Amino acid sequence: MSGPSRSESVFKNEWTMASAREDIESVLQQVMVMLGEHGWDETSIFAVRLSFEEGLSNAMHHGNGGDPSRTIQFHLTGGHDGLAAVIVDEGPGYDPDSVPDPTAEENLTVASGRGLTLIRAFMTEVTVIAPGNRLEMRYDRPGE
């Protein structure tokens, strides 16, 4: 998945973090500051933050099994028009087609299982790369 398609890249960063909530939150805060400094609107920042939080949380819980000794790689490239992000965990991967539909009646009261659906709802493009431990996302800012 390539970076923003309509503008030259103006920010790029890579993080390696432990599978720990506080590490994820620290990275998310850095990303939000970066987006704000580049004039991103609140709606786009909300969509990106929610998607990144879900993707990183999935990598921590499902990919790395909550093991803080396992790391998560997070790569971000962006510009005024949009961004591209990659999340890689150390887990064995999964088949995204096997994830239960959270809108199915039998899953409506299940407390988890909505992350990938939310990411797909907010991102322009989402790809899970085989074996399933690499998530690539692209977000195009509306009206840009």
pLDDT digits (tens, 9 = 90+) for 37-69: 999 999 999 999 999 999 999 999 999 999 999
In whole angstroms, what is the distance from residue 143 CA to residue 125 CA?
16
In whole angstroms, what is the distance from residue 76 CA to residue 22 CA?
19
In whole angstroms, what is the distance from residue 108 CA to residue 111 CA?
8
The encoded tokens of residue 115 equal 């992350």
Model pLDDT, residue 118: 95
Q: How many domains does the chain have?
A: 1
CATH of the domain at 136: 3.30.565.10
Within-domain flag for 5: no
Boundaries of domain holding 35:
11-140
Within-domain flag for 4: no
For the chain, the C-alpha Rg in angstroms (whole number) is: 15
